[in-house]
Amino acid sequence: MWLKEIAPSNDLRSWFCHESMKWDAFREKYEGELEAKPELVWKVRQAEKEHGTVTLLYSAKDEEHNQAVALMMFLKRL
């Protein structure tokens, strides 16, 4: 399943530009975007329930500060 729409907005990605000093602000803003897309978050949660594991892909070089990590952290708090 590919949920392109669950990714951060183009504006947010451009602003973040994988600058680790913006990480906390990026996560907060991205979480706000995720909260506005409950149907997409629900799809991810359903996939996790059905399959037990969901793999989040990303193409950033930084393994600690990327949208997949931010999404994982958001999902873990639900």
Q: How does residue 42 score in pLDDT terms, banded at 50, 70 and 90? A: very high
**The tokens 């409950």 sit on which residue?**
38
Q: How does residue 8 score in pLDDT terms, banded at 50, 70 and 90? A: very high
State both tokens at 56: 């989040």
The mean per-residue pLDDT over the stretch 43-52 comes to 96
The mean per-residue pLDDT over the stretch 11-40 comes to 97
Neighbours of 7 (CB within 10 A): 16
**Angle at the Cα of 16 from the Cα atoms of 8 and 12, rounded to 5 degrees:** 35
The mean per-residue pLDDT over the stretch 29-49 comes to 97
Angle between helices 38-51 and 67-77 (to 10 degrees): 80
Q: Does residue 76 sit in helix, strand or coil?
A: helix
State both tokens at 33: 């975007």
Total-model pTM: 0.93
